[in-house]
Amino acid sequence: MAKKDSLKKTENDKLLEDKEADRIIELLKDKIIIFGENLVKDYDIGEYIVRAVDNVSLKIKEGEFVVIKGPSGAGKTTLLNLLAGLDSPNKGIIYGHGIKISDMGEESLATFRLINSGFIFQNYNLISTLTAEENVIFILKTAGVPFKEARKRAVNLLGKVGLDERREHLPFQLSAGEQQRVAIARALANDPPVIFGDEITANLDKKTSKFIRNLFKDLKDLRKTIILATHDDKLIDLADRIITFDDGKITEEEIPGINN
């Protein structure tokens, strides 16, 4: 008897479920592709706890190009990692594409990321033992794309980022700019609706930065949702919204062309 009771949904459970369903409907209706509420991320470093993200709430709409800027140590990388599902918050709720990702386990998050987001890291994070082409194929294979198709797409993408001649190179045989372009090809491989980038032009020469800027202009024109942590004026120029982040908090939001 007790067992049966415990399986029954209480009125309270039902109310919570209804509230959750209403919220998801609301997010989808407003085309909010990422929703974070009261996000907190702490790093426990022994004696201290660093609060890298401090009670942050934000909404990002489908097709929006959002730039996050702010001083080093502000918490930009941590925030991006939370929004992309690369890390989980200590407190708060995150919805991505109408799915609550904040309490997902690592395996579900990995699947979520594979379908929904491409991430370009500041330090490229290529697999050092795989060639440029294999790095791109690897992510496609993980998503279940058959090898022949994966290879075709990898060749095509590497061509798009100007690396036709570098496909067989290992990461250490590539310049910083070339490695970053492989990382971009990899982030775009599964054609994700949302692209995250963390200081993607910070370590690059002017020519590569310009190339990447033009690539992001094309992605913007394709109505991709783009979220970049950057100080690069050329990338900031493309933004629909600029968020200033400092000490774990949003300190300013600007819609270019409206506030100035």
Question: Which residues in this chain contact ligand ADP in the complex, by CB under 6 A?
Answer: 43, 45, 50, 52, 70, 72-78
Shorter beta-carbon distance to ligand ADP: residue 72 or 128: 72
Nearer residue to ligand ADP within complex by CB, 44 or 107: 44
- Report what 52 binds from Mg ion, ligand ADP, none; CB cut-off 5-8 Å by kind: ligand ADP
CB of 77 to ligand ADP, least distance (A): 3
- For residue 40, the cross-strand partners are 54, 91
Minimum gap (Å) between residue 248 Cβ and ligand ADP: 7
Give the integer Cα–Cα distance in Å for 185 and 183: 5
Cβ partners under 8 Å of residue 143, min gap 6 = 114, 115, 189, 190
Widest distance between CA atoms in the chain: 72
**Burial of 79 by CB count in 10 Å (0-12 exposed, 13-18 middle, 19+ buried)?**
buried
Query: By Cβ distance, which residue is nearest to Mg ion?
Result: 77
Which runs of E-coded beta strand occur in the chain?
A: 32-45, 48-61, 65-69, 91-96, 99-100, 117-120, 194-198, 225-229, 241-246, 249-254
CB-CB contact of 154 with 137 (8 Å): yes
Give 36 or 75: the residue with its C-beta nearer to ligand ADP.
Answer: 75
Tell me which amino acid residue 204 is: L
Output the smallest distance, CB 165 to ligand ADP, in A: 33
The one of ligand ADP, Mg ion, none whose footprint includes residue 89, by CB under 5 to 8 A per kind, is none
Nearer to ligand ADP, 75 or 177 (CB): 75
Q: Which is nearer to Mg ion, 95 or 119 (CB)?
A: 119
Among 27, 32, 34, 77, binds Mg ion (CB under 5 A): 77
Give which of Mg ion, ligand ADP, none residue 179 binds (C-beta under 5 to 8 Å, depending on kind): none
Q: Which stretch binds Mg ion (CB under 5 A): 18-26, 33-41, 75-83, 127-135?
A: 75-83
Pick the stretch among 12-20, 61-69, 70-78, 160-168 that binds Mg ion (CB under 5 A).
70-78
Neighbours of 154 (CB within 10 A): 27
Residue 137 DSSP SS3: helix
208 binds, among Mg ion, ligand ADP, none (CB under 5 to 8 A by kind): none
Task: Count each helix (H run) and each strand (E run) in the chain, helices first.
Answer: 9, 10
User: Minimum distance between the CB of residue 73 and Mg ion, rounded to whole angstroms?
Assistant: 8
Closest approach of Cβ 125 to ligand ADP, in Å?
15
Residue 9, C-beta contacts closer than 8 angstroms, at least 6 positions apart: 17
Burial (CB count <10 Å: 0-12, 13-18, 19+), residue 258 = exposed
72 or 260: CB nearest ligand ADP: 72
Cα gap 229→47, rounded to integer Å: 29
161 binds, among ligand ADP, Mg ion, none (CB under 5 to 8 A by kind): none
What residue ranges bind Mg ion (CB under 5 A)?
Answer: 76-77
